[in-house]
Structure 1
Amino acid sequence: MAGLGRARGRRQEEDGGGGSGLGAVLDFVLANARLVLGVSGAAVLAIATLAVKRLIERAAGARDDGDPKAEQKALEEAWPDLALIKTAPKPAKKQRREDLSEPLPARPPAPGEDPEPSDCSAPPEPLEVESSPRRCLTLQEQLLLHYSSHLAVPEEHVALVQELARGICAELQSFLRSKCPELPFGSLFLSGPLLDGLEALAADRVDFMLPVVLDPALWSLIPGEETVVRNPRYWMIKRTDLEYFPRGRSPWDRFIVGRYLSSNVLNETLHKMLVASINWPAIGSLLGTVIRPVVASEELKLEVKHEQVELNVTLFPVVEMEGKVLLAAPPEGLVENLWLESFYRAEVSRVKELDAADCGARQSCLRILNGLCKSHPSLRKLSGSPLTHVVLHLGAAGSDWAEENLAARFQQVLKELVGYLEQGFLPSYFNPKINLFCELLEEEIDEMGFMLYRAASEPKLLLKEK
């Protein structure tokens, strides 16, 4: 504004103290511009007005039309005035209604004015860049993502576990043949969900199946309903025709208790061999592992430690007769002659057969369910056979197991499980007389039922890490 006053005084001196009408109007506008436009608007208007007034004064001033030097001088003096107009800052754009909530930009300091000190104690918050909203994942996408992120077993771990298990299995087979040549053991083989593609969460368990070869002419099966436990899932193996084929005719007669092949006696004999007769340190060093038999367990267990994985091995003597697969896994108690009927091989075969027939997602559903149940302590006893039999029951009911219906079948399995838990009875797919919940306590059934009842309506509860 000081420059504006000097320009006005110089104009008055050149005109002899008198002002034209246009000059008076401009002076009035400039005098009141600050009130109307504010400081910045008045500065812009003053600069532009000064340039226009200079052009008008030069145009009105007398000069010699024929003097080229005067004309050139007038043009040279006009350029700075035009530059003032071009370099004048543009007034701020009028704010729209939606811009009123945004913070006002800081006022630039005037010439000679010290800038305001910044407040270092409260730095301005960075502006959040609004990203495009994420698409909500469907339940099926959430299930597959959770499985791949938290439940799937790395393939390299699976391959390593299988390699270690085969090495230990071969060494154990060699020992049994050299130590007990009189006992007709079959060839050891591996079993378990990890090898059949139905396992999840960890590559930490493999079963060794040791076939016990019996002569059908000397042995027969007694159904579980006729045993002392009245449980259709347990069987007894009876020695027959002792009058014609006395003891000693069968190499397995040494394990007889009361005319029945005792699973307990056989397990105790094998347990002594595993603990005291096998040089596990030598076998472990050969395979690059540390192998220790579990002494305190009634089961035949080995603990295997490798630098990358830890493995639990369980040895099961198994008898196959009359279409039954019986394991030397008697229930707890005084009964020592019982053999547990296993449906695992039939379960896996049936699930894969059904999936191959309709390109179904039963195996995918079982992998997810097994992983989720194992990750929740209260549901751990449901993993394995109970889940498989529920899936098989749904398949028999004609449910659509196409890949795109995985989420719907998942929720349906949860609802079916709740119903079976309410009844306290889950019939076996292969023998409806067998209750797969018979070994669960009432408190365990209540806890599982409550958890699954909530998860059936809100499946995301199962996806939370425990």
Structure 2
Amino acid sequence: MEAFAPKRRNSEGTGFASLVDFLLANARVVLGVSGAAVLALATLAVKRLIDRATSPPDGDGDEKAKQKSLEESWQELSSAQTAPKPPHASRREALEEPLLLPAGSGPGHDSEDALPPPETLPAEVKARLCLTLQEKLLVCYQDRASASEAVRTLGRQLSEDICAELQTGLKKHAKLPFGRASLSVDLSEGLIGAGGTLEVNFLLPLVLEPDLWAPIPGEQTVVNDPRVWMIKRTAVEYFPRGSSPWDTFLVGGYFSSNAVTRALRKVLEASVNWPAIGSMLECVVRPAVAPDKLKLEVWHEQIGLDITLCPRAEAGDKTLLAAPFGEPVQHLWQQNFHAVELSRLKELDGRDSGVRQRCLHLLKAAFGTQPCWRKLTTGHLSHVLLHLSGTEPDWSEAALADRFRGALEDLLRRLEEASLPCCFDGRINLLGPLSAEEIEEIGYLLYEALAEPDLWDGIGL
């Protein structure tokens, strides 16, 4: 068997030599002149190593000679590698035939061409590519923060139809003699809530007999809070209990907002056929599970509505809404400035063609990105802008980014002070209903957002 071993080695060597010859023959075309030279020397060295390994030993003299020859071959290879390469132009002239480039590596397949053209990017990605905060805010306002006129029109029609159906259902309950319900100004302003839905308020007026009910400011009661009011039942000696349909909601001689809210929630959940109403209006209408608010969720194929029902009482020129507070304060009515806030912003924008209302929409969108930020209502953000309007004269569109950042910084300062005075009654602190922990959490996240190098990323829009 050992006699066949040298032949097998020689045949293997012959096959290897053929492979080497083929590589050397094509190396000049593929690698160029210098590359072919390097490959030839390297191949020669490797071939000598193989010949030495496959040939029988011939003595110490031949071993030393071959070792020397091998070392010379490696030296020649090293010198060829360290030799200066010819200039790029000479290499190009030396090429006699064009090289076959791999698929996808030609001039039309550069790495830059691998990226999709800008016109194919989604609108949201395009907004990210804007260079300035000003441009990003304008795109956000157009696409996300404000409803279009068509959406507002559809929202108003749906809201009016649902409000009419609710009014019809309430007429069946003599114990809840509400007046004619109306829509708030939120819908006309196109304010969008945290879930991308239009915010709508249904105002349900309470028709109270003026001789039987007397509104009392909160600072004149044990509560001693100008934010809230109490409504006292009067003239009981002349008009005993039962003379007014609202007497069933008395608690300790005062008209209870909690009792009215509970009764109205029962009507919404048990006495109104919302599936039938939704089917008729081609949408889904259902009462929302909210322990402290009366809400309806409406989903249409083109729009979503977030409807809040607000029982409303009048105290002269003041509007009082049912606002249940946590223990131990309950059964109170809260003075509401919502309508006058938005009207004031609209009036100021009309004077100087300002962007206060746009800024309010953008602030609403920004503060809908964090759950704790949602505790700040439209009223809080509106008052920040009203306060800022007293110190900043420029509200042009070119200053939108500056006013937006300024509003956030002013809000952060007021959170640090835990004080946001009402513009229409300086005794009222609008941050009063929030706990110290809630104010600290809101302020901390807002501070982190303002500390980001890019405010856009900080607020998470």
* TM-score, shorter chain, exceeding 0.5: yes
> Is residue 239 of structure 2 the alignment partner of residue 245 of structure 1?
yes
The residue type equivalent to 1:238 in the other structure is: K
Which residue in 1 is equivalent to 2:261? Answer: 267
Deviation at 1:173, TM superposition (A): 0.9
The residue type equivalent to 1:320 in the other structure is: E
Cα pair 1:369 1:387 within 8 Å, conserved:
yes
> Is residue 166 of structure 2 the alignment partner of residue 172 of structure 1?
yes
User: Mind listing any 5+ residue stretches in structure 1 that lack a counterpart?
Assistant: 1-38, 40-99
Equivalent runs, 1:62-73 vs 2, <5 Å = none
Deviations along 1:330-368, whole A, 9 cap, x unmatched? 102254320111110110111111111222221111111
> Is residue 110 of structure 2 the alignment partner of residue 126 of structure 1?
yes
Aligned partner of 1:188 among 169, 181, 184: 181
Alpha-carbon distance in structure 2 between the residues aligned to 1:152 and 1:295: 26
User: Mind listing any 5+ residue stretches in structure 2 that lack a counterpart?
Assistant: 1-32, 34-85, 118-125
Which residue in 2 is equivalent to 1:234? Answer: 228
The residue type equivalent to 1:126 in the other structure is: D
Deviations along 1:133-154, whole A, 9 cap, x unmatched? x997443223212322443334
**What SS is found at the alignment partner of 1:245?**
coil
The residue type equivalent to 1:300 in the other structure is: L
Which residue in 1 is equivalent to 2:67? Answer: none
> Is residue 310 of structure 2 the alignment partner of residue 350 of structure 1?
no
With over 3 angstroms needed to count, the CA separation of the structure-2 counterparts of 1:166 and 1:105, relative to structure 1, is farther
Deviation at 1:380, TM superposition (A): 2.3
Alpha-carbon distance in structure 1 between the residues aligned to 2:167 and 2:264: 12
TM-score w.r.t. the length of structure 1 is: 0.68
The residue type equivalent to 2:254 in the other structure is: Y
Q: Among the aligned pairs, what percent are the same residue?
A: 46
**What SS is found at the alignment partner of 2:385?**
helix
With over 3 angstroms needed to count, the CA separation of the structure-2 counterparts of 1:277 and 1:109, relative to structure 1, is same
Alpha-carbon distance in structure 2 between the residues aligned to 1:185 and 1:145: 43
Alpha-carbon distance in structure 2 between the residues aligned to 1:140 and 1:372: 15
Cα pair 1:161 1:203 within 8 Å, conserved:
no
**What SS is found at the alignment partner of 1:303?**
strand
Deviations along 1:217-274, whole A, 9 cap, x unmatched? 2211111123343322111001112223322332322221221111111122222211
Which residue in 2 is equivalent to 1:327? Answer: 321
Deviations along 1:124-175, whole A, 9 cap, x unmatched? 762759x9xx997443223212322443334443333222211110011122
> Is residue 390 of structure 2 the alignment partner of residue 396 of structure 1?
yes
Which residue in 2 is equivalent to 1:206? Answer: 200
Alpha-carbon distance in structure 2 between the residues aligned to 1:434 and 1:196: 25
The residue type equivalent to 1:350 in the other structure is: R
Which residue in 2 is equivalent to 1:416? Answer: 410
The residue type equivalent to 2:400 in the other structure is: L
**What SS is found at the alignment partner of 1:221?**
strand
**Which structure has the bigger radius of gyration?**
1
Equivalent runs, 1:79-94 vs 2, <5 Å = none
Alpha-carbon distance in structure 2 between the residues aligned to 1:173 and 1:430: 32
> Is residue 278 of structure 2 the alignment partner of residue 284 of structure 1?
yes
Alpha-carbon distance in structure 1 between the residues aligned to 2:371 and 2:171: 41
Aligned partner of 1:441 among 418, 435, 442: 435
Alpha-carbon distance in structure 2 between the residues aligned to 1:118 and 1:187: 80
The residue type equivalent to 1:246 in the other structure is: P
Alpha-carbon distance in structure 1 between the residues aligned to 2:91 and 2:193: 58
**What SS is found at the alignment partner of 2:424?**
coil
Alpha-carbon distance in structure 2 between the residues aligned to 1:384 and 1:401: 20
The residue type equivalent to 2:183 in the other structure is: L
Aligned partner of 1:315 among 299, 309, 312: 309
With over 3 angstroms needed to count, the CA separation of the structure-2 counterparts of 1:172 and 1:264, relative to structure 1, is same
The residue type equivalent to 2:277 in the other structure is: I
> After alignment, is 163-172 or 409-418 more displaced?
409-418
Alpha-carbon distance in structure 1 between the residues aligned to 2:224 and 2:303: 42
With over 3 angstroms needed to count, the CA separation of the structure-2 counterparts of 1:128 and 1:216, relative to structure 1, is same
